[in-house]
Chains A and B, each alone.
Chain A
């Protein structure tokens, strides 16, 4: 780790009294783009209209698994208004977001793998003409065996979805990871209680309200420009260069304002390649906007998992060993699946300490829309199973579930069983906060039948040191340009996807240079203008982009303060910068505006600017895959939820959710709370409403916002964000992530609350009213059986 990567937790300036105070950090400042969004001025991908722009549409496979025998596009090409038709042969080079698994094509080359897989694309004068042309493309398919069930896909593979001639024995296996830490057998040997059970996590999807959209232009001097609703500009850039066989320097990728992502815009997508290729062929700008239905086919959502967990504990509640076996339904392509498979095991090892851990995770290809990273990638599913199982351990030991979790806390500045370094850890305070706010002690186990409280905890990464493609360059880079007008421009490759990362950049620049918010503007996610950043995923942005911003701004501060000090012939330590002014701490009469200070510095030092960067320290366990999930800092969360169960209808109503989250330091508490509330909402929705599934034909069961039921306002509980600050030694001013961690505990906390309410254990998602009724019936039957047994005694 370079010195640029660590900046401490303190404000940059000491005031005259020697105390350090933040100027803007920690304040609920408005967002850089709030008013633009509120007034309809913000420009999203589909808002871009270019002169002469063509509209493109995609032909999709109606078959779940088939070989493409022949494609005839001649009738489509002959339709007036059609400018180009492309197929898989137009762009045969495969790609994949993970370089080790390039198993996707922009358009299917010889095989389709799910209903909705992309087969051809048309550019025409308008959408109606492009749609009409799709109907004129003749495709001959040879049908192959269809695999909808992962067990079936693994055990009875005759037509592998991704044939591997060198290793045919792999069949439909996508990835398997088995890792063993500590002495698991001994752990179970020492246990006073062992709980073992099966759990199911269903499929869910991101459902950003903005559908995917991309626009491309190609100029005769061979510059390709792509505007795309992506959350990772850099990987799209790399994938375009590879597939289109263009030098990367002749491609510019720009992320316009983004209407939500949640992981669903992380992969390079077919439409990005298609509009680029169609623009190159036609010489016209080309736009493709996916319909909502197409977004459901593109998916990359939460992997369905079948999980088997076994946990041992001593009678004082200390966990002695955990053993997990997980089957992961991957859908048709790899996507981030290699990482998913690791994450399903790697990210369980906090906030609790356990001495022995074994997991065995297998990802399988099936003929369904491909799964990928959704908020809390790979770890939401095992967290659900484990946190429910911990409640079962508490029940078996007659322990309070919060006390059980306290008893197992791993502590700060420690190491997990799988070799991950833990720095700050505010989990105990999170537990205390939800215990207090939910009035746990007075109410848990004491509410009337039908009402209950449940708790769960979790941890998550603030980015990892695994940069998708191996390289030694920084993970985050930033440039600052200082203008004589008093304006500072920040150029960041980071992707603001609504979470507010540009606001974080601006706030940090303001803090370091003592500026008012309107003196800093941010340009982001434009590969021509901004240094490379690895994008908005793995909750890496605040931590990594934040540190890079401090790095760049501190260099500038030294330069400007040095110049002003030289001008005033005083020690640079006497220079204070704040609220748009620069003054001498020992002589307040010496005071100039930031703009004047910039001009003094520019005169003395030439044109002003700086760069900043961040890279992770060396982290991770010393084993294959040990760096996956190795984060420079982990966030911690606890939720308490309050539910009502209607025992006649089986409906679970979540009334309240208290979300305590250790984000290190809240650089902007309002934005942190927004992430916490949004995360909790999304988890609650997965638990009780949403289900992304296919029907018996492999066709998406209901690809619309009517049939895929995301909660409305009246379906969402009261959410109470409780911020915990542990001040991480390596985070920017101590900050860690807040955007994904707070989703995890929602789901198990509901299951645990339902147990408190009506005494049933829900282990299989989603918690539909029908399942609740069935479990209630089972419980009554068991009680009756016990009752009659007692009578007979």
Chain B
């Protein structure tokens, strides 16, 4: 059997205890929620922490709550299954619920968490492999090596953000609450827009440090006429990571025209990317009215112009690019119709 490297494990009951352990162990500690990403990665020798800090036993990180202003607060260790089947989440943030319901397969959604998906490591066909496999090629930029096998001569890692929920959370303007211990040992919390979490570096695509613990995801109340959907391209109807993911948010005004829109794509490059021109193409147009089909086509065209998949994750990258306008069109239509997800099964 493929073995885990040796480590110790701790299961603190509170955020404070968890942060104390992170402070004590520093870079030797890693946070784990459901373990569905970290455990395979450790089996592949990608991470070798001395201490794994499980957050599963921390009550504060569990559950879905709704604040008075309509903000959805989702504990970071809430499972993907729990949010995908939560009626309030489905009603208030359909794209996010759909994305959570399409992550991996049934067992993994019962283990994997919202926080784990937000914090998912980037993926690459040259990286998510065993130690033997990677060593045979002299390793790569992201781990243990100095070469990039995706972009010959490349000096910046282009491993792909592959988390289904991230683009939906970006489209919803979600915020993340992190906690850490400062140099005086006090617990401090900060709130960060999901947009601001990610950066374009496949080696590590997040702007937070290893001692920061994601506590909750806060999704602000949507517009009265909020529409949303998620589209996911993958080979199989279950288990697989996205080959392309498209999140759509559309806010309609009282007349039924698009007042605001946001489109975000994932599984292309190191961070989820906002399809600004695509969204702009929709604004002011009214679904079902003359000009709408042209607007949707223009959005699809703009997305195609902006998205350039690379051979970082498995699958034909030219095909993935070809699917960008198709999935943009279909996901917009699904959102407007109150349907989705866009998925082949």
Contact = CB atoms under 8 A, between A and B. Distances in A.
Check A-B contact in the complex, CB < 8 A: yes
Interface of A: 60, 62-63, 115, 127-128, 131, 289, 291-293, 646, 648-651, 653, 689, 697, 699-703, 706-707, 709, 711-715, 768-770, 773
Given A706-B239, A709-B240, A62 B318 contact: no
11 contacts: A62-B135, A115-B136, A649-B326, A703-B129, A706-B128, A707-B125, A712-B238, A712-B239, A714-B238, A714-B345, A768-B319
Interface string B1-28: 1110010000000000000000000000
Interface residues of B, number: 31
A713 B128 CA distance: 25
A459 to B, nearest CB: 32
Contacts of B1: 127, 289, 291
A60 B3 CA distance: 17
B3 A648 contact: no
Given A62-B135, A293-B132, A770 B318 contact: yes
Given A289-B1, A707-B314, A60 B237 contact: no
B137 interface: yes
A697 B125 CA distance: 13
Given A62-B135, A699-B133, A648 B326 contact: yes
Contacts of B326: 648-649
Interface of B: 1-3, 6, 105, 125, 128-130, 132-133, 135-137, 233, 235-241, 314, 316, 318-319, 322-323, 326, 344-345
Contacts of B314: 701-702, 707
Nearest to A211: B1
B126 to A, nearest CB: 9
Contacts of A62: 132, 135-136
Contact of A131 (B3, B237, B240): B3
Contacts of B133: 293, 699-700, 703
Contacts of A291: 1-2, 130
A115 B137 CA distance: 10
A769 B136 CA distance: 31
Given A715-B237, A715-B345, A697 B319 contact: no
Contacts of A700: 133
A706 B242 CA distance: 12
A29 to B, nearest CB: 33
Nearest to B343: A714
B144 to A, nearest CB: 14
A136 to B, nearest CB: 14
Contact of B105 (A63, A711, A712, A769): A712
A130 B29 CA distance: 26
B343 to A, nearest CB: 10
Most buried by A among B125, B128, B240, B314: B314
A715 B319 contact: no
A770 B2 CA distance: 34
A699 B322 CA distance: 28
Contacts of A697: 136-137
A689 B239 CA distance: 14
Nearest to A707: B314
Given A702-B125, A768-B319, A714 B237 contact: yes
A707 B235 CA distance: 10
Given A128-B3, A699-B136, A714-B345, A689 B316 contact: no
A689 B235 contact: yes
Contacts of B6: 128
B319 A770 contact: yes
Given A697-B137, A707-B314, 13 more contacts: A62-B132, A62-B136, A293-B2, A653-B344, A689-B235, A701-B314, A709-B240, A712-B238, A713-B238, A715-B236, A768-B316, A770-B316, A770-B318
A67 B128 CA distance: 29
Contact of A773 (B235, B237, B239, B322): B322
A291 B133 CA distance: 13
A715 B238 CA distance: 8
Given A699-B136, A702-B314, A773-B322, A293 B130 contact: yes
B238 A701 contact: no
A497 B71 CA distance: 56
Contacts of A63: 136
A1 B316 CA distance: 55
A714 B136 CA distance: 35
Contact of B125 (A60, A701, A711): A701
A449 B344 CA distance: 19
B319 A651 contact: no
Which are the 9 A-B pairs with shortest beta-carbon distances? A714-B237, A62-B136, A770-B319, A712-B238, A714-B345, A291-B2, A770-B316, A648-B326, A709-B235
A489 B233 CA distance: 54
A131 B132 CA distance: 11
Contacts of B318: 770
A714 B102 CA distance: 13
B236 A712 contact: yes
Nearest to B132: A60
Contacts of A131: 3
A127 B326 CA distance: 48
Contacts of B137: 697, 699
A768 B243 CA distance: 14
A63 B137 CA distance: 9
Contacts of B240: 706, 709
Contacts of A773: 319, 322
A128 B240 CA distance: 29
B186 to A, nearest CB: 40
